Each structure stands twice: as C-alpha cells, then as structure tokens.
Amino acid sequence: TNAEFPPYEYHDGDKIVGIDMDIADAIAKKLGLEVQIEDIAFDSVIMEVTSGKADIGLAGISATDERKQSVDFSDTYTTSKQLIIVKDDSTIKGSKDLEGKTVGVQIGTTGDILASDIKDVKPERYYKGMDAVQALSQGKVDAVIIDSEVAKKFVEETSGLKVLDEAFADENYAIAIKKGNKELLDSVNKALSELKSDGTIDSIIAKYIKAE
C-alpha cells in the first residue's frame, strides 16, 4: 500500500490504518491468514504485485483498463470520483478552467492520468498527495486533482482551500492480484462477497467516512 491516502490508508502513530487496511484484515481473517503491510510509493504498488513481492495491492487503486494489462483485479469494494482542489480565492470553477494551468497530482494515480489528458495542463507530480496539497497552499500549483474522500480530508486539514463540485468519472476501487493467481483471486472475491453481504464493508467505510 501507500499510506499517504487518508481515509483509505494513512499513518496513525506507528500504525498504518484506514478503510483498506481494515478490509485487508477482514479478508485475511476469513482466509485464516495474517496481514503484513508494506508501505511503498503508489506508483510501485502494481510492480510489487507483478514481481510477487506482495500478494495483494490495496491502496485505493482504480481498476483501469491500463492496469488490468499488468494485474488481475478483485470485484469492486467501493467507488470514488476525482475532484479538483483549489484555493478559496481561485478563479478556477471546473475542469475547463484548468487549461494552461499548473496542476498538482500524486505520481501514478488516476489524477495524474486525468491531468495529462487536459489540454495545455502542466502536471507537477508528487510522491504524496499531501505534498501536492501543500504546494497548492504555497501557490506553487494552481489546483490539485485527487480522489474525492482524500480531497475532502486534506481540505479539512488545510485552511484556505476548497473542493470544487464538479467530479470526473466514477471509479471502481479493487484489489490488485498477480495475473493468473486464480486461487487467491477467487478466495479474495469470495471473502469480499461475504463481507459485503453481512454489512462489514459498509460498516468499515462508515467508520472512516461520515455521511454528508
């Protein structure tokens, strides 16, 4: 995982906690396994899975077609959107206003891909989402594109910033598993299905994300 992505995964003292970590624990419990968390750069998570260093990648990963070429994905466990963060006094009102602007993103994320697709945008890439948000506060970038719940969390913690209403396409978060490891994929999907049915996934998400 990449523990720079609250409320999905983040540091709480010397522990790594969050929605994804609780889901990993719940799946492991179903399968009679133990979780060992490795905190690495987000753009290395898929590579750790493909190389076999990690059994699963769980880091708020959107199951995009491009990523599906490298790994297999579990069933979706939650959905998200990409949102734009700007300063309170910014003239940017939506994605159309990003043309020609400098946009902060976390390397390898969907926000990084989206920023690269907007005409004349200059993406500034950071290893941590929070570093992009701090750069926005300091006036080094004009906006940040990042996942919705993460955006809300960062804006709560940083004064002078706001999240725009406009959202990019819906995304499906899923667990990355090495291609061809059907046994693990089937086991994870079975556990996920049971955790959805008995309300565990919903209660984990509700613990970290309060209903609006």
- For residue range 50-68, list pLDDT tens digits in order: 999 999 999 999 999 999 9
Strand order through the sheet with 4-5: 4-5, 9-12, 15-17
Average pLDDT over residues 202-209: 94
CB 192 within 8 A of CB 201: yes
The span from the CA of 195 to the CA of 202, in Å, is 9
Average pLDDT over residues 133-156: 95
Q: For residue 168, what pLDDT band results from cuts at 50, 70 and 90?
A: confident
Other CB atoms closer than 10 Å to residue 11's CB: what's the count?
13
Q: Which residue has the tokens 């706001």?
A: 162
Which tens digit of pLDDT belongs to each residue from 76-112? 999 999 999 999 999 999 999 999 999 999 999 999 9
Other CB atoms closer than 10 Å to residue 22's CB: what's the count?
19
